Structure 1
Amino acid sequence: MSKIADYTDQALHSRWLIVAVVVLAFFWQIGAAPLYDLDEGAFTEATREMLASGNFVTPYQDGEPRYDKPVLIYWLQAASAKVLGFSEMALRLPSALAASLWVLALWWFVREKTDEETATVAAIAMALSLEVSLIAKAAVADAVLNLFIALAFFEIYRFWHAPARGPLLRAYLWMGLGFLTKGPVAVFFPVVASFLFFWSEGTLKNWLRAAFSPLGWLVFLLVAGPWYLAIYLDNGPGFFESFFLEHNLGRFGDAMQGHGGFFGYYVIVLPLILLPFTGWFIQVLRGVRESWRLPLERFLWIWFITVFVVFSFSGTKLPHYLLYGITPLFILMARHRMELVNRWLAYTPPVAFFAVLFFLPQILATINGFVDEPHVSVMLANGIGALDIGYNWYLVCGLAAVAAVIRWRKIWPWQSLVLIGIVQVIVVYWLLVPRVLDVMQGPVKEAGLLARELDLPTVAYRTSMPSFSVYRDAVTPDRPPQAGDLVFLRIDKLEGLTERFPELGIETRYRRGPVALVYLKPPAEDD
């Protein structure tokens, strides 16, 4: 290696690079884009109403109980907003901090079970991967949940390696906090995957002792039980019926909110969420048979496969579900990093991704030719306009940087992918995401701020975009519009509103992109 390559190798094994990558991938640009709907809007509106009402037991969204998720994420967002002020940055900060602790937990575990260089590579790769960095910047529950799931799995392996009370009780602690974040999923996967692993090792007695530990379950109940009891006393059985039956069992059995997919959905999704490290993973996958012989690697594969198979059978499918099982893949990739020698395999996925970004305006124009919905067509047209010559120029610079890394033959392919990952983070969060969310959510934010300024009775008409209420700083009730109301709606609903209220004058107060804000004028005002 040359001196520059040698310095690069040292830098890519440095703890300080982990810090730099985490800051870049998780914190940089964290408040630059509006909240997106439905997810961020729903979570943050529930947090806003929690702060406004002082009810820290039952989350509400637009005045109705929100039973989709347990309470911990709302508490964390509320605490952040209380300290830093109510803003996009404050609402997303708990996710960024949780993702940072997730990376730290990964590094600590891998250093303990292998070596520090492998731990550092695994931590850097995970932080730079596309989907992990996305949820680290999102005001939703998933980064927090993934932290607790990973911690629980790490303690389970420690318990298998050296059965003791400490790791056992800590595993129950993390599962309890996960149960307080997103419910049964935080318990289901650690329990099922650990059973399969202990069974494969012939140590089921230890698993049974751990699974039926009275002290362990006491820790779990002390952590999660008080809030579940409190919401039952506050709301009766409503939360339990909605959350456990509809939002857990229901999601597995049927596609909810249109989030369905075919059986092989995650075969397509996995290469995307791993970018730019897709080829690296494929290389590791080729060696699964040899890898299976090692207890640590078998544990990691069982963890991933359990999540992959279960969600492949689920009726509701979303890309971030696979993150519950993605942590072990970065450990496996780091352990086998020197086996990645095929440069075509390594570089084709990120180059293809950058090529898609380069031709995105043309892709959107082609899609728009087949779209009938007015609000979607307007968004696509505005998206094409946002991807202007400045976008193309900076993207060309990004492509040039990727090409330069690929041409640098004096470093290993995995090292090149880490450098490409840094370029990817800069391009995605400086160039792409702010433009996309400004087109999709900028108009919703502007409409909400205007409605707040006008201070009129306001309703949403056949439109579910809860971030409107966040920016309006008020509940937007779900009731039929009436004279004197300000009405927030998607533009494809305007014709229906006009037909429903032919006797009222409709005055447009705001219209941009896919949404509008109109005032229903009483007959007296027309006179």
Structure 2
Amino acid sequence: MDSATDSLKNVAASGIAAGRFQRLMTSPWLLILVVALSFFWQLGAVPLYDLDEGAFTEATREMLTSGDYITPHKDGEPRYDKPVLIYWLQAASAELFGFDEFALRLPSAIAATLWIAGLWFFVRRCLDARTATVAGLAMALSLQVSLIAKAAVADAVLNLFIALAFFEIYRYFLDPDPKTNRGFVLRAYLWMGLGFLTKGPVAVFFPLVVSFLFFLSEMGHPNGGLRRWLRAVFSPLGWLVFLAVAVPWYLAIYLDDGDGFFRSFFLQHNLGRFDSAMQGHSGFPGYYLVMLPIILLPFSGWFLSLLKDLRNAWSDPLDRFLWIWFLVVLLFFSFSGTQLPHYLLYGCTPLFILMARYRERLTNRWLAFVPPMLLFALMVALPWLLEAFVYVAARFDITLKAHQVAMIGSGRFALDFQYGVAVLAGLVALLLLWGWSRPALWARLVLAGAIQTLVVFGVLVPRVFDVMQVPVKEAGLVAKTLDMPTVVYRTSMPSFSVYRDAVTPSRTPEAGDLVFLRVDKLDRLARDLPGLNQTLVYRRGPVALVMMEAIQ
């Protein structure tokens, strides 16, 4: 009798513990802690990376220096790659907190936090608070979201506005009363206008196309149909809001620069990117099917668990809206000439909602844990993979460029004993979570996401940046101290100008110039300028500084 009583007590205690753990994993306080870890921890710990962060932040630096808040410039030349909002946000942050990596990345971290907040309130309204928290946890800890939240580029800001516009579209669908749904329409146009000011037409294209397909699919529903869609699309007040937000700067840059921005941005950086690969970023029709599991790490298996009931999703309006949102983005970029992983993020917000809503469908431990364990196994093997790469190159007489040899050598040193212990400990922790049978699989995957964040951003990223970007930063600081005429030679690393705190033109070097270049360009510099002596001022890893002097 006593034994049976003890067993019942143990079962009851176990149930209480499981309930407490479940409440913890769906607590908004946990979400706040995870956002702080994923978006703000290590925010300013590593140098800016090239090409993207260097280009954005150099344009911001020149904006602050020149006082020209209309036309962004990079190394003295107009930068027409993106509209102006991200530069304004970075400039405001730098004015408040000082011009450094933390301040330049802070707008992205804040935008990602607001993105999570927008998702949480939307899911709480459509489903429930616990599901909203789980969706936020999955999004905050996914690999690609945490990467752009820590990057001084426009992507987190753009994703915020795209997601907010979609949330307003679905709220409009839920409320058929024209007297009360006007606010949803106006806010959707506001978010599209701000997105248009961040990265252009993509912020309008996807909301329009997805909403059209969704309302078309709801022809038999009293809230759906093309009439309701057309009423919102041709809202005069909505377009007035959009134009009031977006047009003033576009008009100002036209008055300043003529049609240069419009030809470069709309024709080259939008139509051109879809028509052909830019800067070598080509792919293939299945590129995003391959990249999606990497983007969603460690939740790739969680996403795959949704596919078995995809047919049934069409019967639920919210599920249908979310799937159409994702599939339109996936299909559009699958046929784009330029393909980059972060493009797919425009359509990943609905996946986090679906994963949270159907979290109990994740029942296969292998499906859940194999993807993150493969990532950690790869990180554990990375030092040996570098050695294998060097061996293969030597065995098959593959000539490596000087900067590649330098980075491989630095990488061998950076991936030290402490690195090995840390990533191996992370892999062991994943194995323990895999074997811990009591909590739900989705909850264990959230813990795996926290481990992934700690190891990737606390161990791997600092070492990668020490190899690739610390030498660029040091070279910029050396050049700033020397205060000589400085040029860039056949090298595109704009963060050098950020750290040098000056425009660095790309032109033929002359006697008396300090030259920044990648080390594999040193021989060509000597061949191109045989009448000048080269004096090595700084060399580390992939880059060097050379002083050019006339031959006496």
Q: TM-score range by the shorter chain?
A: over 0.9
Q: Distance in 2 between matches of 1:405 and 1:390?
A: 23
Equivalent positions of 1:415-494 (< 5 A) are 415-494=443-522
Matched, 1:66 2:83: no
Matched, 1:75 2:88: yes
Q: Aligned-pair distance for 1:501?
A: 1.6
Aligned counterpart in structure 2 of residue 150 of structure 1, from 133, 146, 163: 163
Q: Secondary structure at the match of 2:251?
A: helix
* Max Rg structure: 2
Q: Distance in 1 between matches of 2:106 and 2:308?
A: 38
Aligned counterpart in structure 2 of residue 100 of structure 1, from 113, 135, 143: 113
Q: Distance in 2 between matches of 1:272 and 1:385?
A: 27
Aligned counterpart in structure 1 of residue 184 of structure 2, from 167, 171, 183: 167
Matched, 1:131 2:150: no
Aligned to 2:248: 226
Matched, 1:240 2:262: yes
Q: Cα deviations across residues 244-271 of structure 1 (Å, max 9, x unaligned)?
A: 0000000000000000011110011000
Q: Aligned-pair distance for 1:224?
A: 0.3
Q: Aligned-pair distance for 1:2?
A: 4.7
Q: Distance in 2 between matches of 1:3 and 1:400?
A: 28
What 5-or-longer segments of structure 1 have no aligned partner?
Answer: none
Equivalent positions of 1:9-408 (< 5 A) are 9-163=22-176, 164-202=181-219, 203-368=225-390, 369-370=392-393, 372-408=400-436
Q: Cα deviations across residues 411-435 of structure 1 (Å, max 9, x unaligned)?
A: 0110110000000000000000011
Q: Aligned-pair distance for 1:5?
A: 3.2
Q: Secondary structure at the match of 1:383?
A: helix
Q: Distance in 2 between matches of 1:234 and 1:287?
A: 54
Aligned to 1:522: 550
Q: Which moved more, 1:418-427 or 1:6-15?
A: 6-15
Q: Distance in 2 between matches of 1:138 and 1:88?
A: 9
Q: Aligned letter for 2:198?
A: T
Q: Aligned letter for 1:222?
A: A
Q: Aligned-pair distance for 1:380?
A: 2.2
Q: Distance in 2 between matches of 1:367 and 1:126?
A: 34
Q: Aligned letter for 2:40?
A: F
Q: Distance in 2 between matches of 1:55 and 1:256?
A: 28
Q: Aligned letter for 1:228?
A: Y
Q: Distance in 1 between matches of 2:50 and 2:435?
A: 41
Q: Distance in 1 between matches of 2:17 and 2:414?
A: 39
Q: Secondary structure at the match of 1:463?
A: coil
Q: Aligned-pair distance for 1:3?
A: 4.3
Q: Cα deviations across residues 59-114 of structure 1 (Å, max 9, x unaligned)?
A: 00000000000000000000000000000000000000000000000000000000
Q: Distance in 2 between matches of 1:24 and 1:4?
A: 25
- How much identity, in percent, do the aligned residues show? 65
Q: Aligned letter for 1:492?
A: D
Q: Aligned-pair distance for 1:364?
A: 2.4
Q: Secondary structure at the match of 1:393?
A: helix
Matched, 1:504 2:532: yes
Q: Distance in 1 between matches of 2:363 and 2:300?
A: 14
Q: Aligned-pair distance for 1:387?
A: 0.7
Q: Aligned letter for 2:297?
A: L
Is the 1:364–1:380 Cα contact (8 Å) retained in structure 2?
A: yes
Q: Distance in 1 between matches of 2:103 and 2:337?
A: 34
Q: Distance in 1 between matches of 2:389 and 2:60?
A: 36
Equivalent positions of 1:2-13 (< 5 A) are 2-13=15-26
Q: Secondary structure at the match of 1:287?
A: helix
Is the 1:374–1:492 Cα contact (8 Å) retained in structure 2?
A: yes
Q: Aligned-pair distance for 1:214?
A: 1.1
Q: Which moved more, 1:466-475 or 1:280-289?
A: 280-289
Q: Aligned letter for 1:180?
A: L
Q: Aligned-pair distance for 1:381?
A: 2.4
Q: Aligned-pair distance for 1:522?
A: 2.2
Q: Aligned-pair distance for 1:7?
A: 2.4
Q: Cα deviations across residues 292-343 of structure 1 (Å, max 9, x unaligned)?
A: 2100000000000000000000000000000000000000000000111111
Q: Secondary structure at the match of 1:301?
A: helix
Q: Cα deviations across residues 214-240 of structure 1 (Å, max 9, x unaligned)?
A: 111110000000000000001000000
Q: Aligned letter for 1:270?
A: L
Q: Cα deviations across residues 343-383 of structure 1 (Å, max 9, x unaligned)?
A: 11111111111101100112223334436222122212211
Q: Distance in 2 between matches of 1:60 and 1:227?
A: 15
In structure 2, do the counterparts of structure 1 residues 2 and 380 end up closer, same or farther at CA, with 3 Å as the change threshold?
Answer: farther
Q: Distance in 2 between matches of 1:462 and 1:233?
A: 33
Q: Aligned-pair distance for 1:401?
A: 1.6
Q: Distance in 2 between matches of 1:270 and 1:365?
A: 29
Q: Secondary structure at the match of 1:359?
A: helix
Q: Aligned letter for 2:532?
A: L
Is the 1:365–1:381 Cα contact (8 Å) retained in structure 2?
A: no
Q: Which moved more, 1:356-365 or 1:3-12?
A: 3-12
Q: Distance in 2 between matches of 1:72 and 1:173?
A: 14
TM-score by length of 1: 0.98
Q: Cα deviations across residues 174-201 of structure 1 (Å, max 9, x unaligned)?
A: 0000000000000000000110000011
Q: Aligned letter for 1:452?
A: K
Q: Aligned-pair distance for 1:400?
A: 2.0
Q: Distance in 1 between matches of 2:404 and 2:287?
A: 24
What 5-or-longer segments of structure 2 have no aligned partner?
Answer: 1-13, 220-224
Q: Aligned-pair distance for 1:408?
A: 1.1
Is the 1:2–1:410 Cα contact (8 Å) retained in structure 2?
A: no
Q: Aligned letter for 2:200?
A: G
TM-score by length of 2: 0.94
Q: Distance in 2 between matches of 1:461 and 1:361?
A: 32
Is the 1:484–1:521 Cα contact (8 Å) retained in structure 2?
A: yes
Q: Distance in 1 between matches of 2:451 and 2:40?
A: 16
Aligned to 2:6: none
Aligned to 1:513: 541
Q: Aligned-pair distance for 1:406?
A: 1.5
